[in-house]
Amino acid sequence: MKSLPRILLPILIGCYIISCENSDSKDNNIEDQFPQPAMISYSLMQTYPHDTGSFTQGLEIHNRIMYESTGNPDNVPNNGAWIGKIDITTGKQNKKAFLAADYFGEGITILNNKIYRLTWQNQKAFVYALNDFKPIKEFSYQGEGWGLTHDGTHLIMSNGSNILSYRDPDTFNEVRQIYVQDHTGMKNNLNELEFIEGYVYANVWQTNQIIKIDTATGNVTGILDLTEIIRQDPALYNSPSDVLNGIAWDSTTKRIYVTGKKWPKLLELKFN
């Protein structure tokens, strides 16, 4: 290769420096766009009994009453997949609505005096009247159903990916999506959801973390890490499937309740 004319060398060096500066600026912009989430400080206030037969998929507090939905990994007829009211202090269940054995129940949420329930791979959502749990309607959707919550206007649904789907509560039609990410990339395996003071909190399946999501950007702004609590109480995990799953927010007391699939305990936490 022939040597370059001397007059071009300063030009090329200058271009190289500008290119490096632009590259550095781009990296900084990425860091600015997706800042590292803050660790959420909390205190464990109390623990309550939780039925170890409950494969928890959804947890919600509405008008100071706790509701739970479960899956049915063992295909037990009229037992495994139910929705019911839960006595927080005793863990006693008042089962109200069941699914046939071939349906696997998933997340729930309560909006406009109706309780909405997802199924895992059946691509069906069921709606019940809250006062008596009588079926009202059902919807079809594409893909899997995992977690469900609402922001007062729209239902918000997860499907195990990094996508949160906003849906019309009257038609279940999708109105928009947000893509959840942090400084490391996309956050997949979003599971049970809870809407808390303008943010969506999501269990990350097979982890000890609940992440706090900015619904305007999809950015993860905080991490509630329960590793220390779980490490101190080995009874919370009896099998690999007994993972953290279940978030309920009491807006009156400002307490968050969490549990897991077949966990023997329900945990009451307070944000510090």
Alpha-carbon gap, residue 43 to 41, rounded angstroms: 7
- Residue 2 and residue 103 in one domain: no
- Residue 111 and residue 244 in one domain: yes
- Residue 81 and residue 104 in one domain: yes
Alpha-carbon gap, residue 141 to 126, rounded angstroms: 11
- Residue 58 and residue 9 in one domain: no
- Which distant-in-sequence residues (6+ apart) come within 8 Å of 33 by Cβ? 219
For the chain, the maximum distance between any two Cα atoms, rounded to a whole number of angstroms, is 87
- Residue 93 and residue 120 in one domain: yes
- Residue 13 and residue 41 in one domain: no
Name the burial class of residue 246, with classes exposed (0-12), middle (13-18) and buried (19+) by CB atoms within 10 angstroms of its CB: buried
Domain with 254 in it: 37-271
- Residue 106 and residue 27 in one domain: no
Which CATH number do you get for residue 84? Answer: 2.130.10.10
- Residue 116 and residue 182 in one domain: yes
Spell out the per-residue pLDDT of the chain, length 272, in tens. 444 444 444 444 444 444 455 545 445 555 667 889 999 999 999 999 999 989 999 999 999 999 999 998 876 655 568 999 999 999 999 999 999 888 999 999 999 999 999 999 999 999 999 999 999 999 999 999 999 999 999 999 999 999 999 999 999 999 999 999 999 999 999 999 999 999 999 999 999 999 999 999 999 999 999 999 998 888 887 778 889 999 999 999 999 999 999 999 999 999 99
**Radius of gyration, alpha carbons of the chain:** 23
- Which distant-in-sequence residues (6+ apart) come within 8 Å of 135 by Cβ? 97, 126, 127, 128
- The total number of structural domains in the chain stands at 2
